[in-house]
């Protein structure tokens, strides 16, 4: 497949972590509340699993082993009758930080509606969530309507019938297996998928394909990555390494959260940090509005120069 001139590169991608970035709590809290499960005990058990398996010579992913523990609780009837439908319904109960989800729509609006010049080259803003949390819960939350895509962890329901053709999946909604996972390292793969346009054209573009920078759908310089802590360092690093921007948020009145963000800045991992408050006038609101406009202005200037250069000078009569 030829990639020359494949995309116009007029998209600004804002990529969000979820827990402690868009929500002040872990998204699984409504799940524990519904089934009267001790969240503290659940996570303590999860944190012990990597060592227990390691003693048996088995490596597990500490970021996603909690998914197996959810299935264990399901099999033990502690999460009785848990389905993807239930997870999506529980997503409605996830609390969001102040200003959300309206702020996401406002970021889109300042480019698409209020600044006529950006429309000249079809410049737009897209929001993505890349999270180690549960995709179905994010889909159930009010913020989902503002998103252009989600990468998260997913469960499979219903077994596959291999005895007949064509293959079919049983209607049983009970969760039985893990279908897809994202950890803090593979978040970078999701970012490259956004960069190359794999998420929009999965059949035509492969994430491993060698695509020239000038032919990728969303250049890294058009990206902003927003998260809360050290676990997102791989994603921060990839975005900044290739010219994008990285921003960390901290929870109000939480000294540990503040120090975490400050350390990231001191280490050169991020460009700036601020309180996880997305209301009009907050430092985070102002920084993100400013940076989105800066990126949009740069795209406009580059497109204008290209247009002028390609048009050339007006032919004159020969005297």
User: Digits of tens for pLDDT over the chain (319 positions)?
Assistant: 555 556 889 999 999 999 999 999 999 999 999 999 999 999 999 999 999 999 999 999 999 999 999 999 999 999 999 999 999 999 999 999 999 999 999 999 988 755 678 888 889 999 999 999 999 999 999 999 999 999 999 999 987 777 777 777 777 788 999 999 999 999 999 999 999 999 998 888 888 888 888 889 999 999 999 999 899 999 999 999 999 999 999 999 999 999 999 999 999 999 999 999 999 999 999 999 999 999 999 999 988 888 777 665 555 555 5
In a domain, 253, yes or no: yes
Total domains in the fold of the chain: 1
In a domain, 49, yes or no: no
pLDDT of amino acid 234: 96
In a domain, 120, yes or no: yes
In a domain, 81, yes or no: no
* Burial of residue 303 (number of CB atoms within 10 Å: 0-12, 13-18, 19+): middle
Radius of gyration of the chain (CA): 22
In a domain, 177, yes or no: yes
In a domain, 269, yes or no: yes
* Burial of residue 172 (number of CB atoms within 10 Å: 0-12, 13-18, 19+): exposed
pLDDT of amino acid 295: 97
Q: How far apart are CA 280 and CA 103, in angstroms?
A: 8
CB proximity list for 98: less than 8 A, separation 6 or greater: 277, 278, 279
In a domain, 142, yes or no: yes
Among residues 295, 106, 307, 147, the alpha carbon closest in space to that of 219 is found at 295
DSSP state of 271: S
Whole-structure pTM value? 0.92
Tokens of 42: 């659940």
CA dihedral 127, 34, 172, 18 (to 10 degrees): 20
DSSP state of 146: G
How many C-alpha atoms does 104 have within 13 Å on its Cβ side? 21
Q: Answer yes or no: are the C-beta atoms of 149 and 194 closer than 8 Å.
A: yes
DSSP state of 313: P
In a domain, 60, yes or no: no
Q: Is 44 helix (H, G, I), strand (E, B) or coil?
A: helix
CB neighbourhood size of 289 (10 A): 15
Tokens of 294: 């800066």
| Domain that includes residue 277, residue range | 11-26+93-310
Query: At 206, which CATH number?
Result: 3.40.50.1000
pLDDT of amino acid 6: 60
């Amino acid at each position: 497949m030829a990639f020359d001139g494949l995309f116009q590169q007029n998209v600004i991608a804002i990529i969000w972590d979820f827990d402690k970035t868009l929500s002040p709590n872990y998204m699984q809290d409504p799940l524990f509340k519904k089934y009267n499960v001790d969240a503290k005990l659940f996570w303590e058990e999860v944190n012990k699993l990597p060592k227990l398996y390691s003693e048996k010579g088995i490596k597990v992913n500490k970021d996603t082993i909690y998914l197996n523990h959810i299935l264990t609780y399901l099999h033990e009837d502690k999460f009785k009758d848990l389905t993807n439908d239930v997870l999506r319904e529980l997503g409605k109960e996830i609390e969001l930080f102040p200003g959300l989800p309206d702020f996401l729509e406002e970021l889109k609006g300042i480019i698409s509606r209020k600044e006529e010049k950006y429309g000249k080259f079809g410049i737009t803003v897209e929001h993505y969530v890349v999270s180690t949390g549960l995709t179905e819960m994010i889909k159930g939350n009010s913020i989902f309507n503002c998103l252009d895509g989600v990468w998260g962890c997913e469960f499979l329901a219903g077994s596959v019938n291999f005895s007949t053709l064509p293959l079919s999946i049983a209607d049983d909604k009970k969760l039985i297996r893990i279908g897809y996972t994202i950890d803090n390292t593979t978040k970078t793969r999701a970012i490259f998928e956004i960069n190359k346009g794999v998420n929009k054209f999965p059949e035509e573009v492969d994430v491993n394909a060698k695509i020239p920078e000038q032919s990728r759908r969303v250049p890294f310089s058009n990206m902003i990555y927003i998260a809360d802590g050290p676990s997102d360092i791989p994603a921060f690093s990839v975005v900044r390494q290739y010219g994008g921007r990285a921003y960390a948020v901290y929870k109000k009145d939480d000294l540990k959260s503040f120090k975490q963000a400050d350390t990231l800045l001191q280490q050169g991992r991020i460009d700036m940090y601020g309180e996880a408050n997305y209301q009009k006038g907050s430092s985070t609101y102002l920084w993100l509005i400013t940076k989105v406009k800066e990126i949009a202005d740069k795209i406009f200037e580059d497109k204008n120069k290209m247009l002028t250069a390609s048009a050339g000078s007006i032919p004159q009569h020969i005297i």
